Structure 1
Amino acid sequence: MVHERRRLVPTLIAVVLGVAFLAATLMLSATIRSSIVAQTSASVDGADAVVSADASTTIPASALAQIAARPGVSAAEPAISTTLQRTDRASVIEAHITPRIGHGTSVVSGRLPRTAGEVAVNPLVADSGVRIGHQINLSGFSEGSTGRRFTVVGVVDPGPRVSVNNDQQAYLDAATLMSLRGEQGYDTIYVTGSGGQDAVADAVSRVPGLHAKGISVRTADQERDVLTDRAMSGSQAMTGFMTAFAVIALVVGAIVIVNTFTILVAQRTRTLALARCVGATRSQVRRSVLADAVEVGLAGSLLGVLVGAGLAQLLVSVGGSSTNLPLQSHISVSAVSILVPVLVGTLVTLLAALPPARRATRVPPVAALSPVLPEPTRTVGRVRVVTGAVLFIAGAGLLIWAATGTGSMTSALIGGIAGGLMNFAGVLVLAVVIIPGLARLIGHVAGRVGGTPAELAAENAQRNPGRAATTVSALLVGVTLIVMTAVGAACGRTTIDATLDKQFPFDASVTSSASVEPAAVGAITRTKGVAEAATVPQVELTLAVAGSSHGTRVTGFGYSERARATFRDASSLKGLDDGHALVQAPGASTGDRITVRSGDRALTLTAVVPDGADPSLNRVMLTADALQKVAPGAPAHQVLVRYADGAQAADVSSALTTALAPYPAMSLNSAADQRSQMEQIVTLMMALVIGLLAISVIIALVGVANTLGLSVLERTREIGLLRALGLTRSQIKAMFGHEAVQESVAAILVGLVLGSAYGIAGAFALLGSQGSATMRISVPWLELAAVTAVALGAGWLASVIPGRRAARISPAVALAGE
């Protein structure tokens, strides 16, 4: 009995791993939601009603006094959140109205601002070197906004009503902040009163001007729900993402469970037959197998929940300490996050055990008299081949349609997922033909090197194709998914890089409200990590096109090699030369003759309108030489910068910020930082996916070992005969090693082809449906080589124990049935 319990350990491991990820997903989702609810509840803590405006408008400034004057209203606290330029550091800073003390807000040192020339900052700004008494320059991004100098008078630790972001922040009086932002009005007003939330919200809603489009009046509870749903929308993708891999782990686990119970039934054949001899019915035999399944499924599910809780806690601890996510320190555990994994794990185990249980009822009582197990001979049915071919072709067609035939990302993703699943299901059905066929070809080559054991291994795959396919089915799933992820991520990263290069052809730009000083250009060029820098002159001229003329902004891009070297993608300058201008203006078409004029100087050129041009931009791009002819001495207000290859974007941007400190009129905008952040996200997601899918390879390792163990049982007489004919123990071990490796290589080849195709199709479905994306195909050869090596090693390692067991079979077994 103890020995049979040990045989169920692989099944237990498969259940534990699959359920662990499902439990971790549910607990992480609950933790994220409870963290967000706690955060949003804190932001409206103490308020009875909230007036909020969306991004398209603001709450009229006059409404604040009217709200405060309503019957039943005791207090109204306004809030503004915007971004300003900190021109003394060539950076940006988050700006808010000077907060009231309370609701989590406190003064760390100094005091709150009292006049329009004073500002308070948060501890993060203080950590960057700003002290009380220092002066900083702030300006808005609106047209014509000018910078103003402020004296730092205090350091404030903001509460959730002010901001939950971990960014550098400044706090100013409302009038000054509205002036800098270039827009009058508030973003939010928190209202406190008497009579309950509904009464306060009703009183506030009667204020004129609060019924405009984009302005909402809600009770505090309604505002919490809105904020929670808005914040949770970003986490739904991650929850769905992790749930998908939990399902994958359960599916791969189910394959192993079926194999394990098949082995168990084979190992207990004589015991079950003897039970039938002494009167056990088919239903009793079936119940005995299913009872084992329920026992293992329940135990594995309970252990899986514990492992999942530990994994979720680890992720929460790491995520909370290494990111800005406002996560709770401990995971949230609900009845759903415990009961659902336990029920799912137990049910999957029970369903996976049903086919072996049915086979157990077919064991005849006469099998108790047989000294060895008969080796089954299985053929491939025509219906199976036709079914697999139909699924494969239909799935491939749906995949192709999703990747190329739709403009909607939602329909592309649904079609891609459905097509991929259908296609892969066809491959699994046809695996009884594909795997043995490939194994035979591989075996012919291996036979020249491995000798008789390799040749026998190839013949074994042909004699029982079903067993050969089952041996590596879980490995095929794991390799396919890992390769799909690696190729899809590589295509995504390359495509995103190409899109960013096209959208932001240079790594960074430095803009100035005044003419760029040569000394500033020199400071930029000398900054460590900067490869190239070039000024861009810009001037307002008159444009005559299609019979009309109007003012337009004309930019001159250098035509020299050094100037163009700042561009990572020069396609945006395609068609630009001394006789042609790139035009995005009303009425302009490619081939039109246009004239740009400045006073008595005029220059006529041929217009080139870029693909996807926006006429509302009203912009003309000339070469620097052409601009010099019509507007000599045009000032440069922008410097284009290219970072050195391999340099850390954040480090170079930080160094540029320091280098530009003596030039308060200049501000830095780094596209390289956005690219770097995108690459970090892709790398992090890929690491997470590979980590999750590595579990499927571990489960696959167990599955290969289990199926080879079944092969030992079924081929006991054959192995005994081979030993009698002179094969040594080492050759028997080598035969099983070759069999595992040959079938694993076949599965790896299929997985590489399928995974690459799925990854490319998935990238096209996800990114190709976005019209702005320029798709790029990229194959990560190094990662694929690593996957191949690991999977091959896993296949061989799985053969070690079954090979040793087979080597111990005595030659006398071959004569036992005679």
Structure 2
Amino acid sequence: MSSRTLARSELARRPGQHLPSLLVTALGAAFGAALLAVSSMIGDYAATTAIGGSAGVERMLTVLSILFLGIAVFVAGVVTTNTFSTIIAGRVHEIALARVLGASARDLRRSVATEGAVVGLLGSVLGVGVGWAVAALVGVIGRASGVALPVPEVLDPVLAVPLVASALTTWLASWLGGARVLTVTPMQALGSAEEAPYDRLSRRPVRTGLAVLAVAAGAVGLGAGVMMGQSSSSGVLVAFLGGVLSFIGVIGLSRLIIPPVLRVIGTLLGRGAPARLGAANAMRHPERSARSTVGIVIGVTLITTFVVAASTARTVLFATTAGAPEEYVEEASRIIDNVTLVFAGLIGFAVVIALVGLVNTLTLGVMQRRREIGLLRAVGFTRGQVRRMITAESAQGAIAATAIGVLLGVVYGWSGALALLGSVSSGAVWPTVPLAFVAAVVVVTAAVALLAALIPSRRATRVTPVAALAVD
């Protein structure tokens, strides 16, 4: 059986598994299409109204749009990779049976990649259409307000950027997420699908070594950017690349870093059986725990980075403008606040994508744990206890993600501010972390934990013990 035939079979038999990936791809494509189309509209408007430097304005908007599209695509790629990894983890028994019947591991992986290509293409086309509609709506609102923004072109070549980027990212994510297919042996058809335990994950020297190397190289880049920032603002580019590289390394190490953090937090959530089981599951299924948490880590890190960088920049500004006219200081502070709000709003879209990934991973995890949940019900667990266990897992994931994300964001934001403004600073600059922001993150995290657990916990409590234990 060819990989295309296998892919069509899986898509037709279980299309619901790919709906979250389709949504994530569509969100990323819509975000990028709307940004690029609106930037093009504003550039055209600036040109027709003879605004000075209109070409520069359009270039700046396009660069910023591509930057934030890249961030959204990166987050969507991580989420989609985790989604496909979770799907494959639940198919191990079926994949092993296919191996028994003669299918090769490479054909099966190509089948998964074909599923990703189909999902990516459909999601990208849908997302670009929605993004164009949003841009058209912005144009209508602008014209109603007296700003003669042009109507976005339906076949604008710039829309090909989010279309191709989102489709390729989803395909690549499915290829990476399907890597586990290569490790499935025909003998596993005789057993159940189990993910690697924590101690086995720690014995993957090549993958761990590459991740550690990325973190180390990224840290060197951050340090070099900060040093360059003492004499020129161009150091921020080096610091940015170093931050990206180190963060990729952190994601690579997430399966080793996150589970112990989850377990510690889980022990603080209570002594009851649901809380203890939730904490134990973090170490029993470290890959699943990392997959359900890393998306939120990315979102919190991004927002914290921008907020800390802006707050630290404001601190530097106040320190270097002592004695300057008050109007100048207030105007500069207002500009920083407005830029921070705009950037936080754009980054917030990436956080929405990460939240979709959290809900999806938890839901797929519950679907794959029906036997486990059925056994718990059979030995006396009530529906309320099952619901509290899943809520505890979601809560500990959200709290751990917040702690890790805030810590990383403070480091990245502080480094970025120093790399950008180190040359105008007159002394030591410490990171400025707004307490109101930290409180807001904690509140939002609590809400996310509760909302993310609603759908999977409802699924878990609907299944009777007999039906769950009868699942093949």
Q: TM-score, normalised by structure 1?
A: 0.51
Paired residues of 2:233 and 2:419 also in contact (CA < 8 A): no
Distance 2:180 2:219 in 1: 34
Paired residues of 1:19 and 1:301 also in contact (CA < 8 A): yes
- In structure 2, give the amino acid aligned to 1:435: I
Q: 1:205-244: per-residue Cα shift (whole Å, max 9, x none)? A: xxxxxxxxxxxxxxxxxxxxxx7xx432244333322322
Shift of 1:412: 0.8
Counterpart position of 1:648? none
Secondary structure at 2:351's aligned position in 1?
Answer: helix
Paired residues of 1:21 and 1:308 also in contact (CA < 8 A): yes
Say whether residues 1:337 and 2:158 are aligned partners: yes
Q: Say if 1:359 and 1:382 are closer, same or farther in 2 by CA, change over 3 A.
A: closer
Q: Which stretches in structure 1 are left out of the alignment for 5+ residues? A: 41-163, 165-226, 508-671
Counterpart position of 1:470? 291
Q: 1:577-609: per-residue Cα shift (whole Å, max 9, x none)? A: xxxxxxxxxxxxxxxxxxxxxxxxxxxxxxxxx
Q: State which of 292, 299, 311 in structure 2 corresponds to 1:490.
A: 311
Q: State which of 269, 288, 294 in structure 2 corresponds to 1:446.
A: 269
Residues 422-461 of structure 1: pairs in structure 2 closer than 5 A: 422-448=245-271, 451-461=272-282
Q: 1:86-121: per-residue Cα shift (whole Å, max 9, x none)? A: xxxxxxxxxxxxxxxxxxxxxxxxxxxxxxxxxxxx
Paired residues of 1:373 and 1:714 also in contact (CA < 8 A): no
Secondary structure at 1:502's aligned position in 2?
Answer: coil
Q: TM-score, normalised by structure 2?
A: 0.85
Shift of 1:774: 9.1
Shift of 1:784: 2.0
- In structure 2, give the amino acid aligned to 1:11: S
Percent same amino acid among aligned pairs?
Answer: 36
Residues 395-794 of structure 1: pairs in structure 2 closer than 5 A: 395-448=218-271, 451-504=272-325, 507=326, 672=327, 674-770=328-424, 777-794=431-448
Q: Say if 1:4 and 1:294 are closer, same or farther in 2 by CA, change over 3 A.
A: same
Shift of 1:436: 1.4
Paired residues of 2:196 and 2:287 also in contact (CA < 8 A): no
Q: Which stretches in structure 2 are left out of the alignment for 5+ residues? A: 1-10
Say whether residues 1:236 and 2:59 are aligned partners: yes
Q: Say if 1:432 and 1:259 are closer, same or farther in 2 by CA, change over 3 A.
A: closer
Q: 1:527-569: per-residue Cα shift (whole Å, max 9, x none)? A: xxxxxxxxxxxxxxxxxxxxxxxxxxxxxxxxxxxxxxxxxxx
- In structure 2, give the amino acid aligned to 1:467: R
**Higher relative helix content:** 2
Higher relative contact order (CA 8 A, sep 6+): 2
Distance 1:812 1:792 in 2: 34
Counterpart position of 2:203? 381
Distance 1:755 1:487 in 2: 7
Counterpart position of 1:587? none
Number of residue pairs aligned between Structure 1 and Structure 2? 459
Paired residues of 2:40 and 2:62 also in contact (CA < 8 A): no
Shift of 1:2: 6.4
Q: Say if 1:693 and 1:3 are closer, same or farther in 2 by CA, change over 3 A.
A: farther
Distance 2:294 2:304 in 1: 15
Distance 2:55 2:425 in 1: 27
Secondary structure at 2:381's aligned position in 1?
Answer: coil
Counterpart position of 1:21? 31
Secondary structure at 2:264's aligned position in 1?
Answer: helix
Q: 1:765-808: per-residue Cα shift (whole Å, max 9, x none)? A: 11223468995743211122112221332133222222232334
Secondary structure at 2:14's aligned position in 1?
Answer: helix
Paired residues of 2:226 and 2:419 also in contact (CA < 8 A): yes
Q: 1:693-736: per-residue Cα shift (whole Å, max 9, x none)? A: 22222222221222223433443433333223222221112111
Residues 187-206 of structure 1: pairs in structure 2 closer than 5 A: none
Paired residues of 2:277 and 2:389 also in contact (CA < 8 A): yes
Q: Say if 1:343 and 1:389 are closer, same or farther in 2 by CA, change over 3 A.
A: closer
- In structure 1, give the amino acid aligned to 2:22: L
- In structure 2, give the amino acid aligned to 1:690: A
Shift of 1:320: 7.2
Q: Say if 1:240 and 1:355 are closer, same or farther in 2 by CA, change over 3 A.
A: same
Distance 2:76 2:259 in 1: 23
Counterpart position of 1:155? none
Q: 1:397-454: per-residue Cα shift (whole Å, max 9, x none)? A: 3323322454444531122101211221222222222211211221222233xx1111
- In structure 2, give the amino acid aligned to 1:310: A
Distance 1:423 1:320 in 2: 45
Say whether residues 1:796 and 2:435 are aligned partners: no
Counterpart position of 1:148? none
Distance 2:295 2:56 in 1: 34
Paired residues of 1:496 and 1:773 also in contact (CA < 8 A): no
Distance 2:471 2:135 in 1: 55
**Higher relative strand content:** 1
Q: 1:472-529: per-residue Cα shift (whole Å, max 9, x none)? A: 111000000011111112222333344444332xx3xxxxxxxxxxxxxxxxxxxxxx
Distance 2:240 2:377 in 1: 49
- In structure 1, give the amino acid aligned to 2:20: P
Say whether residues 1:289 and 2:99 are aligned partners: no
Paired residues of 2:33 and 2:131 also in contact (CA < 8 A): yes
Shift of 1:815: 6.5
Q: Say if 1:689 and 1:266 are closer, same or farther in 2 by CA, change over 3 A.
A: same
- In structure 2, give the amino acid aligned to 1:740: S
Shift of 1:29: 3.4
- Of structures 1 and 2, the larger Rg is shown by 1
Paired residues of 1:305 and 1:338 also in contact (CA < 8 A): yes
Q: Say if 1:727 and 1:758 are closer, same or farther in 2 by CA, change over 3 A.
A: same
- In structure 1, give the amino acid aligned to 2:42: I
Distance 1:284 1:382 in 2: 25
